[in-house]
Structure 1
Amino acid sequence: MCPYRGGMSDERRGYLYGLTAYVLWGFFPIYFKTLRPAPALEILAHRVLWSVLFVALLLAVMRNWRFLGRLLRTPRLLGGIALAALLIGINWGTYIYAVNSSRVVETALGYFITPLVIVLLGVTVMRERLRPLQGAAVGVGALAVAILTFDYGHLPYVALTLAASFGCYGLIKKRMSLPPAEGLFVESAVLALPALAFLTWLNIEHGATFGQVSAVHTVLMVLSGVATAVPLLLFAGAANRVPMVGLGILQYVAPILQLGVGVLLYHEPMPPVRLAGFALVWLALIIFTVDGIRSARKNRKPALQKASQETGQKAEA
């Protein structure tokens, strides 16, 4: 590891970026609650439009527009980005709706089970082999969903929609090679036209809250673009510096904070059956994390042996 200025290593800096990103995401419910009485679709439309403007300004400062030429020459990539934009729009909209419908706890559940959904997608779509501990984690997670379905009286569709949409979004993004800022700009740009059309209609119907509630409310709506982009860029800085196992553990910070916000700050109910369901989800995540750490260590040994052999060969030469 190479030390940076101030004595902080590159990896430690990455952990700081990642932790900051996940803490910000963890407190997102408080931010979106302050945007009421705006309905979820209006908040989503403003989030999309201000994200486009903020990231466009960022790219202009960086003078980085070359990626647009590559996109225009690759229709398949454009199609993938359009699908990714649809999925992230569904994810954002569902999240905003859930938060402002006093279902913050269910959003936390959605992001807790996302790693399990990603494993299922890897097996079903990418044809990856399921390791025994991964299979056990998915089984425990499925049991947890069954218990929570019994508790809610219906499938926890908000949690499942969040997990499925984000999992599929991640799968599509894995097949593309756009950096985070460029990716966010293009995805938001795809959603910008319908967002603008919706806001125009809302204003014609005199149903818009933007500029009608208070100056603070208006400023917070505008800053939703910054609030969207900043954690994503911090996460990108972490992803380039932190091992995958470290990122995998950090990702639980956000739903833990969301759960705390829902239960402790907004006093959402957590009856014993629901708590049992969450306990099973946490058990599944512990199994999943242990398997990830074991797999990383197992894969690291051959790499270290190979590096050692290459060093020895160079020394002999």
Structure 2
Amino acid sequence: MFPQRKHPLNSVTPTESRRGLAYALLSYLIWGILPLYFVLLKSVNPFEIVAWRIVFTAVLCAILITATRTWPSVMEVLRRPKMTLVIASAGLIIYVNWQTYVIATTSGFVVEAALGYFVNPVVTILLGVIIYREKLRPTQWFALGMTVVAFVIISIGLGRVPWIALILAVTFGIYGVLKKGIGARVSALTGLFIETILLLPVAAIIIGVVWAHTGSLDLLHSSPLLTVLMIATGITTAAPLLLFASGARRISLTTLGFAQYLGPTLMFLIGWLVLGEQLPPERWIGFGIVWLSLVILSVDLVRHGRANRLADAALAQAQTGAIPIVSHESSPEKPGK
């Protein structure tokens, strides 16, 4: 017999699918224009920004959990030490990602930050090879090699390694692996809340160090606008993540994979056209190679996704008796293959 496969998206109606795509695109739209938000906060210490971002995200998540009456789910996760440890590790990784991102966007490195998120799909593939021993197709290896070449070219042009892009790509890739490990057992809201409450000691230490070093905190001595913007970092953090989670449940991974390019594309355009960051020839060449590798990965994804869907359709027909399963006793293969 063929193994039974589940198709979670089969029950999604066209209306729900369109709504899911809208949620996903809106989440990436917010992530894409977020640099403009943090540029408004560039006069604030970037470490203080992230510290308050942790605090106000935790507060917002607590309010949402109270409103949705999901505290039992939170307590259930906290009673599982291994799962809590995974979430704590994810929290530390995403802190490094947040801190690097805020430093980049408030210091004139938005284009380099965009490069990190363009490269993230390739890093995710590489992590799959290292951690899960996944086998790559030739096109995936080729795209991986092209990305390495792109980083070498950009490094030569900059006279340094593009550390911001590397840190963002690697940390977000590892974060994705850790979140995949807990899968559907923890909702996006519960996971984000636990991550941020476990990071509260880190935020407290940062706030204490900044206060001791400067003698004041920007949150308490800034203009009303800056104060509101810092408080609202909780919304700008939680809203796109929850929209993304809602969209991901309603659309295919292929569609989601294409949607993810909206964020770094907007970041790149903002850094280049709005903030006026310089793009010497070496950087254009490097980005061009990265974009070409993403095109190759996308075509490969669509092609193999179509092949998998056809195989699944044939399997479903075979299981319902629409297509007879013919076995040959002389075949060396095991039944069901």
Deviations 1:52-96 (CA, angstroms, capped at 9, x unpaired): 000110000000012233323321111111110110000000000
Aligned partner of 1:63 among 58, 69, 72? 69
Taking the aligned partners of 1:131 and 1:141, their CA distance within structure 2 comes to 16
Q: Deviations over 1:18-54 (max 9, x none)?
A: 1111011000100011112111100000100000000
The structure 1 residue matched to 2:191, chosen from 183, 189, 197, is 183
Partner in structure 2 of residue 142 of structure 1: 148
2:297 maps to 1:288: yes
Measure how far apart 1:311 and its partner are.
Answer: 4.2
Matched-pair contact (CA < 8 Å) for 1:239–1:247:
yes
- Aligned residues of 1:2 and 1:10 also touching (Cα < 8 A): no
Matched residue SS, 1:155 = coil
Which residue of 1 is the match for residue 93 of structure 2?
Answer: 87
The Cα offsets for residues 198-241 of structure 1, whole Å up to 9 and x where unpaired, read as 22443355231113121111011000001100000110111001
Root-mean-square deviation (Å): 1.7
What is the distance in 2 between the residues matched to 1:109 and 1:162?
9
**AA matched with 2:165:** A
- Asked if structure 2 preserves the Cα contact closer than 8 Å seen for 1:38 and 1:208, the reply is no
Please tell me the residue identity of whatever aligns with 2:296.
Answer: I
Matched residue, 1:202: 210
The separation in 2 between residues aligned to 1:98 and 1:165, in whole angstroms, is 15
Contact kept, 8 Å, 2:220 with 2:227, in 1: the verdict is: yes
2:166 to 160, 167, 178: 160
Contact kept? 2:77, 2:186, Cα under 8 Å? no
Which of 244, 259, 262 is residue 271 of structure 2 equivalent to? 262
Q: Which residue is 2:112 aligned to?
A: 106
**Which is worse superposed, 144-153 or 68-77?**
68-77
Distance 1:94 1:269 in 2: 20
Looking at structure 2, the residues matched to 27 and 246 of structure 1 have their Cα atoms a distance apart, in angstroms, of 21
Q: Write the letter of the residue equivalent to 1:15.
A: L
Give distance in 1, aligned partners of 2:12 and 2:260: 25
- Of residues 225, 228, 238, the one that matches 1:229 is 238
Give CA-to-partner distance per residue, 1:149-174, whole Å, 9 cap, x none.
10111110000000000000100110
Aligned partner of 1:304 among 304, 313, 318: 313
Aligned residue for 1:97? 103
CA distance in structure 1 between the partners assigned to 2:172 and 2:37 by the alignment: 20
Structure 1: stretches of 5+ with no match in the other structure: none
Larger radius of gyration: 2
Counterparts of 1:110 and 1:83, CA distance in 2: 21
Distance, in Å, in 1 between the alignment partners of 2:205 and 2:146 is 44
For the pair 1:241 / 2:250, whether they are aligned, the reply is yes
In structure 1, give the amino acid aligned to 2:302: I
| Distance (whole Å) between structure 2 residues aligned to residue 201 and residue 127 of structure 1 | 42
Counterpart CA distance in 2 for 1:25 and 1:284 is 22
Query: Gaps (5+ residues) in structure 2?
Result: 1-9, 324-337
Contact 2:56 2:233 in 1 (8 A): yes
Q: Normalising by structure 2, report the TM-score.
A: 0.89
Please give the residue correspondences for 1:28-67 in structure 2 after superposition, counting only pairs within 5 Å: 28-67=34-73
For normalisation by structure 1, the TM-score amounts to: 0.94
Structure 1 residue 309 displacement after superposition? 3.2
Cα distance, 1:280–1:298 mapped onto 2, change above 3 Å: same
